[in-house]
Structure 1
Amino acid sequence: MRRTAAAVLIPALLALGASAHAAESTRSLPGFIAINAKGAFALRVEVGKAQSVVVSGEDKFVSLLRTEVVDNELQIVLPEKQFSSSKGAPTISITLPSLSRVKVEGAGETLLNKVDGDRLDISYLGAGHLAANGKVKYLRLNAKGVGEVDTRQLRAERVDVQFEGVGNVSVYATELLNAVAKGIGGLTYYGHPKRVNKDVAGIGNVKAGD
């Protein structure tokens, strides 16, 4: 019986010790329609809901991460010295009614869910992964680095994309695609756009995926 109790108690204590270093903080902030994030963390954004910002991860990450709203833009900053030291699964979860612009610089994973609007501007610089879904009339995308940007589930009528780096970018356009690719990466487009304008420099490529 003692062995059985110990077998149950020890894992429970270990789990308690591990969770003791986890933290969560809900940030109360003014309204915003744009996001500017800099750091190594996961960013989860869902559009079409009431605004909320929740930061989760180890205590140090939660306490050091800075969030403030300037000119309708949520600015998220993790000090540079902490970029590579955050452990576990540091995550920022955001919901908001509408989204017009996203700028990400870092090495984490960014997910933009249920985007719905006339226009979305995305600027991505890093070595992580960004994915987006939903629908817009106009997508403007600027991507640099060695990461992957996948917006083929973000249905757009017009897409202007500029890509520079060694990663991969995918977009979806039905009417017009203006694509500029520099470097050795690949840009793949979907949606059978009626007009495609390409400008390729380097050994990269711009090609249809469907």
Structure 2
Amino acid sequence: MRRLMILTALLCAGSAHAIEQNRNLAPFSAISSKGPFAINIEVGKKQSVTVSGNENYQSMVATEVVNGELLLFYKGKHNNKNIHGETITITVPALQKYQQEGAGETTLRNLSGERVDLSYRGAGRLVAQGKVKLLRLKAQGVGEVDTKALLAENADVNFEGVGAVKIYASGTLNAVVRGMGSLNYYGNPKTLNKSVQGMGEVKAGD
């Protein structure tokens, strides 16, 4: 009997960390996140927003759509630390803009279209993959932005901080670096326009 009670308690505890909550929201084509979220976004699919974690975590995560933009933030205070299993999974038909602020980690897959704007500010990590004609990237902070798998024909990059940025461009790359950060570029761009202020660098990736 005691073994059964212990097993039941363990199963309940495990399921508490595996709850998925689907949010029904108005259509959006832009996303802005603020806080230490773990976010997975896939473009080219029917819109969905799923918050995974225990009930307490789900109650703290706010998801609002304002003027076609999904806003992700925490209600009240948060411990600024993401716990394993607490994730937000988003699918969307098209994405034109993504902004991340905080110490979170975001993965963007299958980005496409004429233009995509990415903005990153914080100490986390942003990874993007896909194919676009124009990428506009603004990065600030001490984290890592890796978009070398986002095949852009042209790219405009404004990077300020001490982190690291990886970018792909096959046509024209306009790169501005301020601070001590490093920007590595891929794709052998035909035209490279760069400006470096401080101890940072702009160089071809391996």
Partner of 1:71: 67
C-alpha separation in 1, matches of 2:87 and 2:102:
13
**Does 1:53 pair with 2:46?**
no
- For the Cα contact (< 8 Å) 2:169–2:185, is it kept in 1? yes
The structure 1 residue matched to 2:131, chosen from 126, 135, 159, is: 135
- For the Cα contact (< 8 Å) 2:16–2:53, is it kept in 1? no
What amino acid is the match of 1:91? Answer: T
Unaligned runs of 5+ in 2: none
C-alpha separation in 1, matches of 2:125 and 2:190:
28
Q: 1:193 to 1:107 in 2, by over 3 A?
A: same
**Does 1:195 pair with 2:166?**
no
The structure 1 residue matched to 2:21, chosen from 17, 25, 29, is: 25
C-alpha separation in 2, matches of 1:202 and 1:146:
15
Q: CA deviation at 1:88?
A: 3.4
Q: Which has the larger radius of gyration?
A: 1
- Off by >3 Å, runs of 4+ in structure 1: 8-13, 85-88
C-alpha separation in 1, matches of 2:178 and 2:122:
16
Please, what is the CA RMSD of the aligned residues?
1.9
C-alpha separation in 2, matches of 1:123 and 1:202:
21
TM-score, reference length from structure 2: 0.93
C-alpha separation in 2, matches of 1:20 and 1:71:
34
- For the Cα contact (< 8 Å) 1:22–1:59, is it kept in 2? no
**Does 1:163 pair with 2:159?**
yes
Q: Percent identity?
A: 52
Q: CA deviation at 1:58?
A: 2.4
Partner of 2:122: 126
Q: CA deviation at 1:20?
A: 2.7
Greater CA drift, 23-32 or 117-126: 23-32
Unaligned runs of 5+ in 1: none
